[in-house]
Amino acid sequence: VASPPLIGLTAGASPDSPDYYVLRWEYLRSIELAGGIPIVLAPSGPALHPSLIDRLDGVVVTGGPDIEPWVYGQRAEEGLLDVSAERDEFEIGLCHAALERGMPVLGICRGIQLLNVQLGGTLIQDLPACPIRHLDLKRPRQALVHPVRLAPGSRLAGILELTELEVNSMHHQAVDHLGAGLAAAAVAPDGVVEAIEAVERPFVVGVQWHPEGFWRDRDHCSARLFRAFVDAAARHGC
Ligand SMILES: [Mn+2]
């Protein structure tokens, strides 16, 4: 029996106490339930060392602060929130190493944005608050805020076995121009891109919502997304 795949998940500095790195444990639980072994990767230390990366089978780029606009060739605009140059640099390096190795990558929230700019895309720095309120800190994380329509024939539609689903929403930025080799896999009714995927890579998927928020509901389609990702990582490790 093959050993479970090792999945690296990015952590970042705590917005409240910058002396600490933090990662919401729901990400770890979601990977465990999907059959993977989660490994927390913090910006400091050996996380970018090839001898560590080569032992991983997949990478999850998690939620977090805004990406420095210079990374995608823009100036900061009104509405830009907290940024972390340390985390940008770390995740861009990690993502580059993973993509170079054909390793499966799952980007969540900030992670979809990181994947997109990594491949040359740009971001909307601050979404308008209507018609859909994509960010509202007073809402519970599991609140279903808006539907997304999955692109017919996309990898994501195949994984989730759906054409449309209701998602949570905790973002004020979004994918603007798509990076090279990426396609939109899900779109909200207001036109905001809610998922992307690489057309010709094994498993490179980003979602703007937070599937880990549904880890308690094993029948939820989010479990299928984590399962497909961990399975792809297991195949990569073979
Ligand atoms: Mn949204």
Q: What is the mean pLDDT of residues 27-55?
A: 93
Residue 177 among the catalytic residues: no
Tell how strand 58-61 and strand 6-10 pair up.
Answer: parallel
| Predicted local confidence at residue 220, as pLDDT | 81
For residue 131, the CA-to-ligand 1 centroid distance in Å is 11
Residues 126-154 pLDDT 10s: 999 889 999 999 999 999 999 999 999 99
pLDDT at residue 208, rounded to an integer: 98
Quick check: 76 pLDDT over 80?
yes
Q: Which among 109, 134, 172, 197 is annotated as catalytic?
A: 109
Q: What does the pLDDT read at residue 102?
A: 96
DSSP labels, 163-228:
SEEEE----S-EE-SPPTTEEEEEE-TTS-EEEEEESSSSSEEEESS-GGGGTT-TTSHHHHHHHH
**H/E element holding 12?**
strand 12-13
What is the model's pTM? 0.97
Name the pairing type of β-strands 37-41 and 182-187.
unpaired
236 is catalytic: no
Q: Mean pLDDT over residues 96-124, rounded?
A: 97
If you measure from the C-alpha of residue 187 to the centroid of ligand 1, how many angstroms do you get, rounded to a whole number? 9
CA of 174 to the centre of ligand 1 (A): 8
Ligand 1 centroid vs 185 CA: distance in angstroms? 14
| In the predicted structure, residue 214 carries a pLDDT above the cut 80 | yes
The pLDDT assigned to 4 comes to 96
- The answer to whether residue 210 scores a pLDDT higher than 90 is yes
* Mean pLDDT for the chain overall: 95
Q: For 184-188, what is the mean pLDDT?
A: 98
Catalytic residue check, 109 = yes
Catalytic residue (one of 146, 171, 172, 210): 210
145-177 residues labelled b (16+ CB within 10 A) or e (exposed): bbebebbeebbbbebbeeeebebbbbbbbbbbe
Q: What is the pLDDT of residue 219?
A: 76
| Start-end of H helices in the chain | 25-33, 50-53, 85-100, 110-118, 155-160, 221-237
The pLDDT value recorded for residue 1 is 60
| The predicted structure's pLDDT at residue 48 | 86
pLDDT, tens digit, 9 for 90 and up, residues 165-176: 999 999 999 999
Looking at residues 84-99, what average pLDDT do you find?
Answer: 95
Distance 189 CA to ligand 1 centre (A): 10
Position 46 confidence tier, pLDDT thresholds 50, 70, 90: confident
